Amino acid sequence: MFFQIPVHIVPLHRLWLFPAVAGTSWFVTLAAMLLTWIGRGCPRYPGQQNPYIAFVSDIAAFQLKPLFLVGSVTTSLCYIATVVAVHFSRYDGAMYGIRDVAWKARTSVAAMLSGVVAGLGLTLVAVLDTFRFHRAHAVLLLVCLVGLALSMVLTTVVYWDQAWSPSPFRRLRCHCVAGTVIVFVDFALGLAFYTLMQLSFWRSSGILEWVMAFTGALYLFALAGIVSVPEEGIDGAERRALLGER
């Protein structure tokens, strides 16, 4: 299985930098945009769908576009690297070295591919703003969100055993639980956001969109914990027993 081949292009003790940079970049970008919009009196932009609260894409099309572009590209590249690091860490013998059944390995591949789609989609969303390229922006945003949702859910499925079963990686369990909770919260927020928007509850849907966006940064920080936890100091027999290996 190719996951068992060590891939140490980046030192293992530095892998946490990818999700940390991605989360920080995304949080700072969103905070700067939101504070700028509030500081300028909450203006309504041309073509803005929500009459009360500007969506992230609306602000990005008219204010701080260079910041949004740089922040999105940084977040995209680091997110792709994060998803790859998270899944290689699970199978790499120098990190966790977990021997999974075949379907989980295939799920990891799907999660990484979905992460790549999400990252590339976010980059294109930043380049093709919603005002000048409205239709293309809407399609790419959907692609980005679907890719992101799939990568989050599939990663949660792969690491589910470490969150809810006895594990030799005790601190890993805390980060997996945190990531799982955030995924469920984000799913609930997304469902509420879509429902409220379809019912034209614009103020509530606008608030939820921003909350969802900031929650994404929290998820990335949870992933930072997953790729920064060293193996616990237990013997091989105990480790295999806890992991269900023979």
Q: Kindly indicate the confidence band of residue 172, based on its pLDDT and cuts at 50, 70 and 90.
A: confident
Question: Which of 51 and 229 is assigned the larger pLDDT?
Answer: 51
Cβ-in-10-Å burial (0-12, 13-18, 19+) of 102 comes to exposed
pTM value surpassing 0.95: no
pLDDT surpasses 90 at 153:
yes
Domain ranges of the chain: 13-230
Q: Per mean pLDDT, which range of 84-93, 137-146, 185-194 is the poorest?
A: 84-93
Q: pLDDT of 23-32, one tens digit each? A: 999 999 999 9
Tokens, residue 207 = 């608030």
- 89 near 227, Cβ under 8 Å? yes
Amino acid at 17: L
Q: In sequence order, which ranges of 95-198 are alpha helices (DSSP H)?
A: 102-127, 134-158, 160-164, 170-198
**CB-based contact 50:206 (threshold 8 Å):** yes
Q: Report CA dihedral (88, 89, 93, 96) to the nearest 10 degrees.
A: -140
Average pLDDT of the chain, as a whole number: 88
CATH of 13-230, one of 3.90.380, 2.60.40, 1.10.8, 1.20.1070: 1.20.1070
